[in-house]
Amino acid sequence: MSQRTFDRPTDADEPLLQVRDLEKHYPIRKGVLKQEVARVRAVDGISFDVHPGETVGIVGESGCGKSTVAKSILRLDDPTAGSVEFDGEDITEYGDRELKRFRREAQMIFQNPDSSFDPRMTIGESVSEPLRIHGVGPRTRRLEIARDLLERVGLNADDADRYPHELSGGQKQRVALARALVVNPRLVVADEPVSALDVSVQAEVLSLLQDIQEEFNLAILFISHDMSVVREVCDRVAVMYLGQIVEIGSTEELFANPEHPYTRALLRSIPTLDLDSRGIDAGLRGEVPDPTDPPSGCNFYTRCPEVIQPEGYDFEQEHWRSVMDLRVAMERHGVDVDGLREFVGLDDGESVSEADAAKMKAELRREHDIPESLTDASAETVLERALDDVVHRNVAAARDRLAEEFETVCERQEPALDAEGSSRPTACHLDGAPADD
């Protein structure tokens, strides 16, 4: 499939969909009274536009909030805050009647077609079901429209009499596309529409989606974790991490010159036939933080391979990331001091000799890929004192020492998603970083 070319809409073009400061938080309740104790910040204040005839991709790791965005935009889940304007009207203010009218204009294609079809209904009945809901025509006319659409998506009209279990995965996803198009929508939200399909079938379905878009001038919001697929079908791309957009721009520019470290890591994860590129990992370590308690400042700093060093220190970036990993581990899980003591053969209550302390500190360095000695003498002094605190069971003091001495602007200030210092909106202190306090 060839790369699409698309000129970004000018300011004079009116977007069909405008999302502003969208939030979706899920309360966590406990106890007999079901009191709220925390909130999962699945989507945490994102903004973007989709124009008629344009495909905008939303990409990111599993759990970043992509699917929640899709459900919130279509009011399958009501947003917590923000606005979603479709053709100039805020759908978050719609009542049931207006919402039903809106859903004729905006349809969704789900990731797994098996779970989105009633096995007791024929394909023709499933495709024509939206027409029945919206009161379009008699049953015979609805089935006639369904048969015509099945042919337009590459199936046979006779497939209308078959049941979902009789079709392959690719055929069922074509049926899902036909069902989404049957009410002649202007916006289609495709949530991982080809992730469950074989690569060859993926190409067929994506090519079909592009052909249908050009024919009907559809606006498409395409949600995926597969960067190679996004590169083929999208005109613009928004990169999400932990409920927030960290970079957004044209597909061509974003893939040619990614500006956010997370975007660069995602691009490094794309499989390649280049022998020189094989074995290069994405550069990300650790897990995605808990969305009920996201990090302060830039929520990516706990994993970012390019996290900014504090003023006054200068040593290898890879080693700086390793020190940050030790900090993050201390703050999230603490340190298993008993395990370290057992590693060097110490019994409960037995004092730590200098030789034992050296072995324990060396093991801590090894676990976090920290070298025997940092090239920055001042940083090495701070780290060594923190490791001494750990060896003598004062993990809290070690944690506080590292937090005070190695605090980075990335955790202190939240970067704004704007184009200052970069060629496109990017939420990173590496581009147009604010002055330090």
Q: What is the pLDDT of residue 90?
A: 96
The pLDDT of residue 280: 42
What does the pLDDT look like over 146-171, one tens digit per residue? 999 899 888 899 999 999 999 888 88
Output the pLDDT for position 432. 53
Q: How confident is the model at residue 422 (pLDDT cuts 50, 70, 90)?
A: low
Say what the pLDDT of residue 168 is: 87
Task: Specify the domain boundaries for CATH 3.40.50.300 within the chain.
Answer: 17-268
**Residue 435 scores a pLDDT above 70:** no
Whether residue 283 is predicted with pLDDT greater than 80 in this model: the reply is: no
**Per-residue confidence at 54, pLDDT binned at 50, 70, 90?**
very high
Structure tokens at 57: 């991709």
Provide the pLDDT confidence category of residue 278 given band limits of 50, 70 and 90.
very low
pLDDT digits (tens, 9 = 90+) for 200-222: 778 888 888 888 888 888 999 99
Lowest mean pLDDT among 213-227, 267-281, 398-412: 267-281
CA-wise closest residue to 408 among 302, 260, 293: 302
In this prediction, residues 225-229 reach a mean pLDDT of 89
354-377 pLDDT tens trace: 999 999 999 999 999 999 999 999
- Cβ proximity of 86 and 187 under 8 Å: yes
Considering the four listed CATH numbers 3.60.10.10, 3.50.50.60, 1.10.3720.10, 3.40.50.300, the one that applies to the domain covering 17-268 is 3.40.50.300
Banded model confidence at residue 394, pLDDT cuts 50, 70, 90: very high
Q: For residue 161, how many C-alpha atoms fall within 13 Å in the half-sphere facing its CB?
A: 2
- What is the percentage of the chain residues whose pLDDT exceeds 70? 92
Lowest-confidence pick of 24-33, 80-89, 197-206, 337-346: 197-206
Residue 421 binned pLDDT confidence (cut-offs 50, 70, 90): low
What confidence score (pLDDT) does residue 136 get?
84
pLDDT of residue 103 exceeding 80, the answer is yes
Query: Quick check: 434 pLDDT over 80?
Result: no
What per-residue confidence (pLDDT) applies to 1?
38
Q: pLDDT for 302-319, tens place per residue?
A: 999 999 999 889 999 999
Tell me the pLDDT tens digit for each residue of 3-15.
Answer: 333 344 444 478 9
Is the confidence at residue 251, as pLDDT, over 90?
yes
Provide the whole-model pTM. 0.86
Strand order in the sheet with 89-90: 35-50, 17-30, 81-86, 89-90
Please give the pLDDT value at position 3: 38
Task: Reply yes or no on whether the pLDDT at 252 is more than 70.
Answer: yes
Split at pLDDT 50, 70, 90, the class of 274 is low
How sure is the predictor about 88, in pLDDT bands with cuts at 50, 70 and 90?
very high
pLDDT in tens, 105-136: 999 988 777 777 889 999 999 999 999 988 88
Q: Please give the pLDDT value at position 216.
A: 83
pLDDT in tens, 169-197: 888 888 988 999 888 899 999 998 887 67
Q: Find the mean pLDDT for residues 243-263.
A: 94
